[in-house]
Structure 1
Amino acid sequence: MSQRQPRRNGEDRSGQPASTLFAKSFAAKRADMRHPSIPLAALLFAGLLATPALAQIDPETLPHDLSPWGMYLQADWVVKSVMIALLLASVATWAVLIAKSLELRTASRVQRRVLAATDGARTLADAPATPHKEVAPALIEAARAEMELSAGALADGDGLKERVESRLVRLEAAAARRMTRGTGILATIGAIGPFVGLFGTVWGIMNSFIGIAEAQTTNLAVVAPGIAEALLATALGLVAAIPAVVIYNHFTRRIAAWKGLVADTSAAVLRLVSRDLSRGVARDGLKAAE
């Protein structure tokens, strides 16, 4: 038997130096990289086949019109109903803005004119009370009517002033109710408009997910149009709600200013009644009439 030679430093069991073995291993790895094996190529080919291809989707079936009108035409009937309701709400908002602005402008102008004339009058008979639909002349007419009805009890000045004040308060309340008529719809649109639009969005996204499941693809060209239609409902909800809230707050401030003018006119009428009672004009007039 031959005796084994002792290994030298840097040699493996085969007797080859370690540097030689490392060089051979590195060369083999480079050869594998230059010439990939058949299983690796097969895996890459299978991955390409598994990727959703645009060729599997018919381009003619995809919606190309992403304008607001095109998205409306392609939307579900529920989403269409939501959009129509929000558009009608927006039209109602602007209609109320125009009508109520004209009404408030006319009422405020008449109220200021009558208030100035009432403050400058010396007696209730001098106050302007021409027939008009506005509340200011009605306040003066109400005070005159109560003084005529209380002709036999003019000595009780405090009682007469209380009765006149009661009439004026009721007229002020009725006028305020008439003036605020139509503003409630603005508050309603501003409160529920975004939620109605959100309902249309949720419904549209549900339909988009159903379409994704039926098409068996997550391609953006299939998903995006349905989501865009759904988001259009939310946009319309905001378009209807935001102006409604702004216009409602605007009318709230203007109606409050108009109520202040009415209150000032009512106070001026009460001053005329008190002045007439203090001077005894009403009592002297009744005696002369008798």
Structure 2
Amino acid sequence: MFALLQAAGAADTAATPAADATVAAAAETTNAVVESVNAVAAAAPAAPSAAEAAAAAAEAAKNAGQQNITLMDMIAASPLVSKIVLVILLLCAVYAIALMIEKILVMRSNKKRTVEFVAAYKKAKTPEEAAQLLAKQPEGFAKKMFAAGYGELQKAKDAGLYNKREARGDLIERIRAAMTAEQNKGIEELGSNMTFLASIGSNAPFIGLFGTVWGIMNSFIAIANTQTTSLAVVAPGIAEALFATAAGLVAAIPAVLIYNFSAKQTGTIGGYLEDFEADFISLVTRDMDKQG
């Protein structure tokens, strides 16, 4: 019995070191896990407070406001070709608007003077009376036509051909030719710069279209270089392209409008001058018939 107790004690004594070693290993493992958790917690950023979040939002809004692109910034950042296109269209637009103002004033002034001159002329019964009535009228195309026709009439009188029937036809043709020449000069003066207006109206949209194509091409190049299709990359180029199109229309629309207005007014004044020429020739032939 005693021997059995000694054997059991020896077994317990032998098992004690093994159990102690197992407990120590478990403790070390636990400590390592705790240290890892503490390291992760230390590395993780602390959650921002409400004040910090508000400050970050304000800074983001400030940065977004600083990135706004104005029209002048877009033009300044545009390539040289686009700037040249915009300068050309700007000059065309300014010139077309200036011509529009000038043509409106000139056409209305000449139309008014022509109508008043013809109205005063219709009161005369003879060429001499017409010359007296029209001497005080302001200068205009109709007055120049009358002066040319009346000058031929006076030359015929000085040469003694006014009352000769056989010379009547030639005199009428000379009067008509002299008045027509003055009329053509007046119409040509009214129609000055019309060719340039037509060129602006027809070509300005195509110049703007060239700027549009150039801007879109630059947008695609930006996409290829940045390897992104973000709208922030392509938007400036597209906006620049659309602005070139708008500039072309701004130049073309006034040019077309003033061209149509000038053409109509020139035709109207030309009609008044033709009627005046016919009336003057009729007055001369009636006076010839009265004098035999």
TM-score higher than 0.5: yes
Structure number with the higher helix fraction is: 2
Q: 2:203 maps to which residue?
A: 192
Distance in 2 (alpha carbons) for counterparts of 1:198 and 1:212 = 21
> 1:139–1:171: 8 Å Cα contact kept in structure 2?
yes
Question: Partner amino acid for 2:222?
Answer: G
Give yes or no for the alignment of 1:241 onto 2:252.
yes
Secondary structure of the equivalent of 1:121?
coil
Structure 1: where are the runs of 5+ without partners?
1-59, 284-290
Give yes or no for the alignment of 1:113 onto 2:113.
no
Give yes or no for the alignment of 1:173 onto 2:174.
no
Question: Partner amino acid for 2:210?
Answer: F
Q: 1:15 maps to which residue?
A: none
Distance in 2 (alpha carbons) for counterparts of 1:141 and 1:175 = 14
Distance in 1 (alpha carbons) for counterparts of 2:191 and 2:81 = 34
Residue 223 (structure 2) aligned to one of 212, 237, 255: 212
CA apart distance, 1:68: 2.5
Distance in 1 (alpha carbons) for counterparts of 2:180 and 2:77 = 57
Distance in 1 (alpha carbons) for counterparts of 2:225 and 2:268 = 60
Taking the TM superposition and a 5 Å limit, the aligned residue runs for 1:4-19 are: none
Residue deviations 1:153-191, cap 9 Å, x none?
221212111110111111111111110102222211110
Question: Partner amino acid for 1:264?
Answer: D
Q: How many residues align?
A: 220
Q: Do the aligned partners of residues 277 and 94 (structure 1) sit closer, same or farther apart at CA in structure 2, a change above 3 Å counting?
A: same
> 1:86–1:240: 8 Å Cα contact kept in structure 2?
yes
Q: 1:84 maps to which residue?
A: 87
Residue deviations 1:5-30, cap 9 Å, x none?
xxxxxxxxxxxxxxxxxxxxxxxxxx
> 1:135–1:175: 8 Å Cα contact kept in structure 2?
yes
> 1:130–1:137: 8 Å Cα contact kept in structure 2?
no
Distance in 1 (alpha carbons) for counterparts of 2:139 and 2:75 = 46
Q: Do the aligned partners of residues 64 and 239 (structure 1) sit closer, same or farther apart at CA in structure 2, a change above 3 Å counting?
A: farther
> 1:124–1:140: 8 Å Cα contact kept in structure 2?
no
Give yes or no for the alignment of 1:100 onto 2:103.
yes
> 1:129–1:138: 8 Å Cα contact kept in structure 2?
no
Q: 2:269 maps to which residue?
A: 258
CA apart distance, 1:230: 1.4
Q: Do the aligned partners of residues 64 and 249 (structure 1) sit closer, same or farther apart at CA in structure 2, a change above 3 Å counting?
A: farther
Question: Partner amino acid for 2:235?
Answer: A
Q: 1:278 maps to which residue?
A: 289
> 2:113–2:138: 8 Å Cα contact kept in structure 1?
no
- After TM superposition, which residue ranges in structure 1, 4 or more long, deviate above 6 angstroms? none
- Taking only the aligned residue pairs, the percentage that are identical comes to 38
Structure 2: where are the runs of 5+ without partners?
1-62
Q: 2:156 maps to which residue?
A: 150
- So what's the TM-score if we normalise by structure 2? 0.71
Distance in 2 (alpha carbons) for counterparts of 1:144 and 1:218 = 78
Q: Do the aligned partners of residues 131 and 114 (structure 1) sit closer, same or farther apart at CA in structure 2, a change above 3 Å counting?
A: closer
User: Which structure has the larger Rg over C-alpha atoms?
Assistant: 2
> 1:118–1:268: 8 Å Cα contact kept in structure 2?
no
Q: 1:54 maps to which residue?
A: none
Q: 2:47 maps to which residue?
A: none
CA apart distance, 1:243: 2.3
Q: Do the aligned partners of residues 65 and 182 (structure 1) sit closer, same or farther apart at CA in structure 2, a change above 3 Å counting?
A: farther
Question: Partner amino acid for 2:85?
Answer: V
Question: Partner amino acid for 2:113?
Answer: V
CA apart distance, 1:131: 7.3
Question: Partner amino acid for 1:192?
Answer: N
Distance in 1 (alpha carbons) for counterparts of 2:253 and 2:107 = 22
Residue deviations 1:122-152, cap 9 Å, x none?
0111121447541111111112210222232
> 1:197–1:237: 8 Å Cα contact kept in structure 2?
yes
> 2:145–2:180: 8 Å Cα contact kept in structure 1?
no
- So what's the TM-score if we normalise by structure 1? 0.71
Secondary structure of the equivalent of 2:122?
helix
Distance in 2 (alpha carbons) for counterparts of 1:199 and 1:274 = 61
Give yes or no for the alignment of 1:66 onto 2:77.
no
